[in-house]
Amino acid sequence: MRHLLSPLDLSVEEIDGLIDVAKKIEKNPKAFRHVADGERLATLFYEPSTRTRLSFESAMLNLGGTVIGFSGASNSSASKGETVADTVRVVGCYSTIIAMRHHKEGAPMVASQFSPVPIINAGDGGHQHPTQTLTDLLTIAREKGRLDHLTIGLCGDLKFGRTVHSLITALVRYPGVKFVCVSPEELRLPDFVREDVLEKNHVPYKEVDNLEDVMPELDILYMTRVQRERFFNEEDYLRLRDRYILDGEKMKLAPQNMIVLHPLPRVNEISLEVDNDPRAMYFKQAQYGVYIRMALIMFLLGLEVPEV
């Protein structure tokens, strides 16, 4: 049985395979309508979500399976003190695969040690978000045509932004990738990413605090929200939240073929005027999230890919 807790749980070849299947799904979704007949996804979301939970549920429904779950700890017996371990032992009796989001780093890993069915980490605290990364990789593959030889700007809350941590972890395995990390001093990458991933793999990166200066050198700009829910005090959040706002003026500094990604939700960090720029890919990115999650569910359940 396979789980997905970190992007490193999948080899580069397996990720390439998932992207291929996702592209097939995009071209011919009807061919996949009964692939997961009889399968059931449980979404155990102890933290709020719009995209991840609903795209997972859409993915399973698109494949012909069914879904159950809860969308907040207060709606579940976690509010009475039930542990993650006991919850997945029980929910594993009602489902064939589980997607879990939790505010505590490592909770999906604990779940995987007790679950009778595959566990997918749908975001654990400020740690990892591997299925957002699969979504990001599919978006880059579709919109840039490659995953190698890219300069990627990561802007905003790089300390708490789990999507950034997972994206870097996945992309360092591709040749010619460079990172430009744009954040205030207080929101720089944590050591478990800077030292254990970037430096260990000898991947070129720089840390800067000015976005305008680096715009011309980017193939991809990955904007992120400042993660209010992970701050210890509101004052720091208020001081840092509007540090970077991507607007039409800043987009004039970017190459014509640069693309803008954002895992969403956005708060203030991308002005609405950027939505009409053909380089803005963040809503398309959310659509790609359904295709790649369909491919992932099929992979973890060992379901056959139909001939299309």
Active site amino acids: 51-52, 80, 101, 129
- What's the closest the beta carbon of residue 187 comes to ligand CP, in angstroms? 18
Instruction: Provide the pairing of β-strand 119-124 with 40-45.
Output: unpaired
Identify which of residues 40 and 225 has a Cβ nearer to ligand CP in the complex: 225
| 97-102 and 205-208 beta bridge pairing | unpaired
| 61 backbone dihedrals φ, ψ, rounded to 5° | -65, -40
Per CB under 6 A, 132 contacts ligand CP? yes
Among 1, 14, 20, 50, binds ligand CP (CB under 6 A): 50
Q: Taking the complex as a whole, how short is the minimal distance between the CB of residue 173 and ligand CP, in angstroms? A: 22
Minimum CB distance to ligand CP, residue 286 (Å): 8
Say how far residue 267 (Cα) sits from the centre of its chain: 17
Can residue 52 be called a binding residue for ligand CP (CB under 6 A)? yes
Determine which residue in the list 108, 156, 161, 263 makes contact with ligand CP, applying CB under 6 A. Answer: 263
Residue 248 binds to ligand CP (criterion: CB under 6 A): no
> Considering the complex, what minimum distance in angstroms separates the CB of residue 124 from ligand CP?
12
Cα-based distances in Å from 60 to 34, 69, 73, 115, 292: 10, 13, 22, 19, 11
Sole window of 23-31, 148-156, 218-226, 259-267 interacting with ligand CP (rule: CB under 6 A): 259-267
**With contact defined as beta carbons under 8 Å apart, do 164 and 207 qualify?**
no
Q: Scan residues 159-188 and list those touching ligand CP (CB under 6 A).
A: none
Alpha-helix runs per DSSP H in the chain: 12-27, 51-62, 84-91, 107-114, 130-144, 162-171, 191-193, 211-214, 234-240, 248-251, 282-301
Q: Which of 72, 176, 255, 265 binds ligand CP (CB under 6 A)?
A: 265
Asked if 295 and 25 count as a contact pair (C-beta separation under 8 A), the reply is yes
- Of the candidate spans 80-88, 136-144, 261-269, 295-303, the one that interacts with ligand CP by CB under 6 A turns out to be 261-269
Stretch of 44-52, 202-210, 212-220, 249-257 lying at the interface with ligand CP (CB under 6 A): 44-52
77 residue type, one letter: S
Amino acid at 163: T
Q: Which residues bind ligand CP (CB under 6 A)?
A: 49-52, 123, 132, 263-265
